Structure formats: C-alpha cells, structure tokens
C-alpha cells in the first residue's frame, strides 16, 4: 500500500491487500471476522468529494498518517503533547478519506472495533461506537435543566451529532449552528449519516464561519441555551476557551440561560479545568458546575463539561426538570428525524450522577463550583 497526492487529499494507490476485519456495529453488536481483499478503489477519492482550491503542491503527510505506529503496523495511535507519555490506539482496517481544509487535517478511517472514526489534526473526534456518550450528554445536560427552551445555538459541532440531539426537544423553534470548517460538515454527511442526520431538521440554520465573530453580531439575550462542541484548546478551537468568548456567550444568553462547553479530562487537564472554572465564575452570575462522562476513545477514557447559567431564574443542573422521555414521545408524534434513533447513553439517572466527582476532583474544584441547590 502507498499513498498518492490527488490535488486536495491523499488516497491509497491501486493495490489489493489482505485484511482481516473485526466489525462491531454498536454497543452490543456481534463481532464478525472475515478474510477478504480490500481494493484501494473502495477508498473515497478526496478530489471527488471536496472541491478545495490549492496550488497543486502536496503538503506534508497528515497528522493522522504520521500517527500510524511503526511498532504495531496498521494501528493509529493518538499522540499529543496534551497527554504526554500515553496514547490510545485503534487498529485501522482502511482509510476512507484524507484531506486538508483551510484549518486542519481531516481524516476518516474504518477501525476494527469502533466503526468509522473521524480524526482532526491527529486527534479522534468521534467514533460510530461511542459518539453517543458525548453527543447526548453535552446536549441533554443543559437542555433538560431548563423549561421549554426555544432558541439554541451550537458552536462547532460540524459533524451534526449535537444537532441530532437538540432536535429531540420539541419545544425548540430555532437551532443555529456556527461551524468554522465546511469540510467537517461535508465529510460527516458523507461518512457518518446517523450522526449528521441532525442537519435534516428544518429548524436548523447552518452558518459557516468563526464562532467568536458570529457571537459578536448576535443581539443580547437571544438564546435560551448555547452548546459549545469544540475540539481541544489548540488550533482553530483555542479562542473558544478564552475569556472574551465566554463573555460573548453570556451576553447572547437570556436571563437564566444556560451554556454547556467541552471541558477536558479530570485525569489529564486539572490545571486547565481550574482556569476554565475561574473564568466562568467571573463571567456567569447564575451558577457554575462541572460534570463528566465516560468516553472510551477520548484520552483517559472520560470527558468533562462546564455547565453555567446567567443571572436570572435559578438553574439546578443536577436535577432535570425537562425530562427527555417526554420530549422523545412528543418528537415521535411529530415524526422528527431524530425520533427514529433511540438514545443509547443518556437518562435522568446518568444526568444526576454526572455531577458526582471523584475525591481528587472535589479537592481541586469543590470550593470553586456552585453548591447544590437545597
């Protein structure tokens, strides 16, 4: 197998290689091994999927291919200075897409055990097997904590998974999304249809552009909830972790409005989390909370969320007042696209449990967070 540059992305040259596939199509799917020849023609030609102007000069190999292990051939290892000294690895069956947008490397590969995998700048963003844990929690933790949300903004989230979950809430009338990288949207629609189904909801308005700039133009008090589905605080997502961004979010929320942001790993990024909490305490005058969830393919196997509210009606994030079960029933009656896909991870019990922190995290964060409402 070798790679050739085709103007907008790298694709495998024509060569048949034997591959033993182990497919797992869900959380409890059966694993089936089968020996077969995988022709390179099965790999999508990036040039036929994404039209992207360039000078015709091949860039350096992508971060995803650079992370292919030389010790365990055929394995992708997620190596990053944000988690030094460790790496999570997945066996690669074949690459499906590899391109470079104006902002980052975008790669999709078929893994042996987690289905298709989306990788941005060498870092796993989602897999078909476990994306439900992240998408469902970052969405329903805030939306199930307030009554009758009407207007929701998603910053990032170009794969459409958060949109899929937001669209389960029948009270919502307007769903805006601002994603900086159109290639992420196009690739998700091509390779992750069960995730990108969120774009099919007629309430969704897609804006391609910078989230910080978008918020600057939003009238004060526009949204009931804002969900920030960002990658790690490097590259194009760095501005989404800085104080001016949080101030813009607070201004765009109504009194008693809520925000939920991706907030890194308790095991790896405690100094960063404490910085985020400090900024949020100075910005959001309602409440400041931290929750977390299991996420097998993210570094350390978990990911956290900051949940904050603006000054106004108090919000008790720990006890949902807008049950998703009721929303699902109403959505099913109106035949919303998302109602055809059952929840796999979130429920009200998991919601409350997400705010229970291990002792080392309590020692670091308890004095900085809003106490539970009595």
Q: Cα–Cα distances in Å, from 17 out to 70, 135, 154, 155, 234? A: 18, 35, 42, 41, 36
225 forms beta bridges with 152, 258
Q: Annotated catalytic residue: which of 176, 229, 316, 363?
A: 229
User: What are 335's two structure tokens?
Assistant: 């035949």
| Residue 336: Cβ within 10 Å count | 20
Residue 25: both structure tokens together? 């199509």
Q: DSSP states of 108-137 as a string?
A: EEEESSS-EEEEETTEEEEETTTHHHHHHH
Count the alpha carbons within 13 Å of 45 in the hemisphere toward its beta carbon: 8
Report the alpha-carbon distance of residue 104 to residue 62 in Å, rounded: 9
Estimate to the nearest angstrom the gap between the alpha carbon of 261 and the chain centroid: 10
Active site residue 200: no
Rounded CA separation 113/86 (Å): 20
Beta strands in 242-335 (DSSP E): 253-262, 287-294, 302-309
DSSP 318: T
In degrees and rounded to multiples of 5, residue 52 shows phi and psi of -140, 115
3-state SS, residue 22:
strand
Task: Say how far residue 201 (Cα) sits from the centre of its chain.
Answer: 19
Point out the residues that are catalytic. Answer: 229
């Amino acid at each position: 197998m070798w790679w050739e540059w085709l103007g907008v992305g790298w694709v495998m040259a024509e060569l048949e290689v034997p591959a033993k596939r182990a497919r797992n199509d869900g959380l409890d799917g059966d694993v089936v091994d089968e020996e077969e020849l995988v022709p390179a023609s099965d790999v999508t030609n990036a040039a036929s999927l994404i039209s992207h102007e360039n000078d015709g000069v091949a860039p350096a190999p992508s971060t995803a291919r650079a992370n292919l292990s030389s010790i365990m051939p055929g394995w992708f290892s997620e190596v990053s200075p944000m988690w030094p000294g460790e790496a999570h690895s997945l066996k690669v069956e074949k690459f499906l897409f590899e391109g470079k947008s104006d902002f980052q490397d975008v790669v999709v590969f078929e893994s042996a055990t987690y289905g298709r995998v989306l990788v941005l700048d060498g870092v796993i963003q989602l897999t078909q097997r476990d994306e439900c844990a992240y998408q469902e929690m970052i969405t329903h933790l805030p939306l199930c904590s307030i009554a009758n949300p009407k207007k929701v903004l998603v910053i990032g989230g170009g794969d459409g998974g958060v949109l899929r979950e937001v669209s389960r809430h029948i009270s919502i009338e307007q769903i805006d999304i601002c994603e900086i990288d159109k290639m992420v949207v196009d690739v998700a629609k091509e390779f992750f249809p069960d995730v990108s189904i969120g774009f099919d909801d007629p309430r969704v308005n897609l804006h391609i552009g910078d989230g910080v700039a978008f918020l600057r133009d939003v009238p004060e008090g526009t949204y009931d909830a804002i969900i920030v589905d960002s990658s790690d605080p490097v590259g194009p997502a760095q501005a989404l972790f800085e104080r001016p961004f949080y101030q813009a979010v607070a201004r765009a929320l109504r009194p008693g409005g809520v925000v939920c942001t991706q907030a890194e790993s308790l095991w790896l990024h405690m100094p960063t989390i404490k910085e985020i909490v400090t900024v949020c305490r100075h910005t959001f005058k309602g409440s400041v909370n931290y929750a977390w969830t299991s996420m097998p393919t993210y570094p350390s196997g978990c990911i956290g969320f900051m949940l904050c509210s603006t000054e106004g009606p108090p919000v008790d994030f720990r006890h949902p007042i807008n049950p998703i079960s009721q929303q699902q029933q109403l959505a099913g009656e109106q035949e919303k696209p998302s109602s055809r896909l059952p929840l796999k991870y979130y429920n009200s019990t998991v919601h409350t449990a997400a705010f229970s922190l291990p002792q080392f995290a309590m020692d670091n964060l308890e004095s900085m967070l809003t106490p539970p409402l009595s």
